Amino acid sequence: QAFGENQWNCQYCLNGHSSAIFCVLLNNTDDMIISGSYDKKIKFWMKQNQWLCQQTISDHSETIYSLSLNEQQNKLISCSKDSQIFIISKLDKLWSVTQKIKVDQYGQRLCFINDNLFAFQPFCKEELYIYEMDTNSKQFRKFKEYKVKCSFERCCCLFQQQYLKSKSLLVNKNGNFVNVMRIKDNGDFVTQQSIEFNSIIIYGQLSEDGEYLITYDEGSKEIQIRKYQEF
């Protein structure tokens, strides 16, 4: 919470995980936090009079690297070092694992594009996988792969994949590259820019209006700001 001029005050400490937390989400109404951890657990924290852990999902058998909520906020996807993607659906007031997708290579990044589509980046592979919901079975299946750049066999997980609907842009770190992809009107993904760094330790985020991409990388030890330009 903002406290005084340019100061922030810690209101709550949420204790529940037994190890490092790698991904945190806040829902659209700011009353639910979802966290994923090295302890292999996903926790759902609800704001009532205070923040309380409402539910824990322990189905993953390895570290949880990434989480994403869909637009309707009723489906959560997760990826883990156990080489599985989970589809977790909200049923009444509880969340349940409704689909487990086994992948050939675990990944550290995924995100919803819309309610029926999500992107998944296998660890340091030069392909991005796109999953789509089957209209009959309501199950997600991989239906496309796109080439993306990566010249390292190592990566750092702390740069979440990000999709910006207003500009149809997907920002996807892969090894020492940050690949910026545009989704065309026909649904195809095209790489708009691949930014190469001299390190795999890169952190970054698109601004909410998509006008700026801000990054920090261990190679340059610089905070770099790039402005979006339409061609």
Digit-coded pLDDT (tens) for 106-125: 999 999 999 999 999 999 88
**Do residues 202 and 215 lie in contact, with contact meaning Cβ atoms separated by under 8 Å?**
yes
Instruction: Please tell me the predicted confidence (pLDDT) of residue 8.
Output: 82
Instruction: Please tell me the predicted confidence (pLDDT) of residue 42.
Output: 98
E-assigned strand segments in 38-185: 42-47, 51-57, 64-69, 75-80, 84-91, 94-102, 107-114, 117-122, 127-133, 140-147, 162-164, 169-174, 177-183
Closest CA to 195 of 181, 210, 184: 181
Residues of the chain with confidence (pLDDT) below 70? 1-5, 152, 154, 231
Residue 87 Cα distances to 99, 102, 172, 198, angstroms: 5, 12, 20, 35
What's the CA gap between 162 and 203, in Å, rounded?
Answer: 12
CATH class of residue range 21-227? mainly beta
Instruction: Please tell me the predicted confidence (pLDDT) of residue 2.
Output: 55
Instruction: Please tell me the predicted confidence (pLDDT) of residue 110.
Output: 97
Which pLDDT tens digit goes with each residue over 203-227? 999 999 989 999 999 989 999 999 9
The SS3 assignment for 63 reads coil
Q: Is the pTM of this model over 0.75?
A: yes
